[in-house]
Amino acid sequence: MNNPQNCDKTTEAATLAVKSGNKGLKRAEDGRTDEALVCLDQALSLAQKHNLQDIECDALGNLGLVHVDLGDPRAGIAFLEKALALVHKLDDKQRLQLLLGNLGNTHLLIADLDKATEYYREALALARDLADTTAECGYLNNLGTVFLSQNMFEPAIDCFERQLHISRRIDREISLKTSDTNTESMALKNLVKTYTKQAIQLGNMSLAASDSGAENDALKFAKEAVQAALKTDDKSLLASQLILNAFAWRDLGNKQDALATCEKALELFDLAGNEELKQNALRLQKELQQKD
């Protein structure tokens, strides 16, 4: 049989611990990080003394985030990992999802991309289980960004396309209540950013292949660069990749296709108003129009 006096003390301790934790969060938001650490330490001590595991987990997680804000992500990770070990005992999926996401973010800060990817994947799976579409979009965005930073275009595009699909559903729901629908816009920007970077990299690969005398590879990469550029609606980018195609056709001895491609690029440079790149294309056009 529980002692009512002990129950009262535990309830009082829980109330004090929650107040200290909330006070710590407010101090952190105000930039008073030293005071935030004191308050969160108080919350942690009370929670541990009275076996208040949910409050202990929150205090550990928040201490981790404050240390990250102070510029010490490794100390932050140590606290977050302690919270992660504890949250598994609680069987609290919502807390677990948040901790996994924060661990992903913190490992990204220290450029540990493998660990960041691992934590984001786990957080994404939990967000789906919880039907938390907003969190799912966020983790898809984070995963896509990690892949993009490593020039892993296909998985990045997959993440951003899934983010776009979900965000459109979210925005349809939001639009019934408000006109502020930015989720889809962010997803579309991510896709454009990815295709732009992919087009530029493929263009550089085409140039490298050309320099090494691998003309067929140069044409292959240039064609792929055009396909990526077509998805960005960036006329200058597309025209630049078309010029690479024209050079590749020229190097393969196909002046007819080289000239036709060059003229398409010139039309796009005119539409984009890019005079500097247009001059380069004009020089190539003049070269191609000369008789052998």
CA–CA gap between residue 238 and residue 231 (Å, rounded): 9
The segment(s) of the chain belonging to CATH 1.25.40.10 are 92-181
CATH topology for 34-91 is 1.25.40
- Provide the pLDDT for residue 179: 43
Residue 71 has pLDDT above 80, yes or no: yes
187-226 per-position pLDDT tens digit? 888 899 999 999 999 999 999 999 989 999 999 999 999 9
Dist CA 269 CA 278 (whole Å): 6
Of the CATH numbers 1.25.40, 1.10.3470, 2.60.40, 1.20.1440, which one belongs to the domain with range 212-292?
1.25.40
pLDDT in tens, 127-171: 999 999 989 999 999 999 999 999 999 999 999 999 888 888 776
Q: What distance in Å separates the CA atoms of residue 150 and residue 22, rounded to the nearest whole number?
A: 38
At 289, is the pLDDT very low, low, confident or very high (cuts 50, 70, 90)?
A: confident
Asked if the model's pLDDT at residue 292 lies above 70, the reply is no
Range with lowest mean pLDDT among 107-111, 119-123, 266-270:
266-270
Pull the structure tokens for residue 223: 């064609």
pLDDT at 4 over 50: no
Q: Residues 217-246: what's their mean pLDDT?
A: 93
Q: Closest by alpha carbon to 278, among 291, 290, 289, 264?
A: 264
Q: What is the 3-state secondary structure (H, E, C) of 157-175?
A: HHHHHHHHHHHHHHHHHHH
Which option is the CATH number for 92-181: 1.20.1070.10, 1.25.40.10, 1.20.120.520, 3.90.79.10? Answer: 1.25.40.10
Evaluate whether 98 touches 127 at the Cβ level (below 8 Å): no
- 100 or 173, greater pLDDT: 100
Q: What pLDDT is stored for residue 178 in this prediction?
A: 45
Q: What is the mean pLDDT of residues 93-111?
A: 96
Q: Is the pLDDT of residue 112 over 70?
A: yes
- Output the six-digit token pair for 20: 């200290």
Query: In the structure encoding, which two tokens stand for residue 90, read together?
Result: 């609680």
CB 224, CB 202: distance < 8 Å: yes
The CB-based long-range contact list for 227-231 (8 Å cut-off, 24+ gap) reads 228/195, 228/196, 228/198, 228/199, 228/202, 229/195, 229/196, 229/199, 231/191, 231/192, 231/195
